[in-house]
Amino acid sequence: MYLTEEDLIHAAKFTGMSTAAFERKYVYRTRNEMRFRKPRKKQCSFLEGHGCSIHPAKPTQCRTFPFWPEIVERKATWNRTAGYCPGIGKGPLIQIGSAMEIAEEQRRAYSHMYPPELHK
């Protein structure tokens, strides 16, 4: 999962760690991106049997899923995602306008992943 600087600060604070300590333990940073380190036997250090152990401080990418631009803008991709996302088709209906607003939040947070020329 990719992180923004704000995500890093929020998650560190939630866990009671300094930002530097949290980053050393959980984050892999390159010149252009920052993401959680992937543990050997699971998808995320914070994904537990009951769900996300840092749920109130979830990074933008986790919080906005499945309403990512590349998913909500293509019906076939949405349908494929529904095959593995346990939340699609459950709970209250999310209107398309709301889904597109959430997708735009993802696009703003990770603008380097969504260059303007790819924006519909």
Taking only the tens of pLDDT, the chain with its 120 residues reads: 899 999 999 999 999 999 999 999 999 999 889 999 999 988 899 998 888 999 999 999 999 999 999 999 999 999 999 999 988 988 899 998 999 999 999 999 998 888 776 555
Q: Where are the domains of the chain?
A: 1-56, 65-120
Measured distance between the N- and C-terminal CA atoms of the chain, rounded to whole angstroms: 24
Q: Which pTM does this prediction carry?
A: 0.82
Name the helix (H) or strand (E) containing 107. Answer: helix 96-109
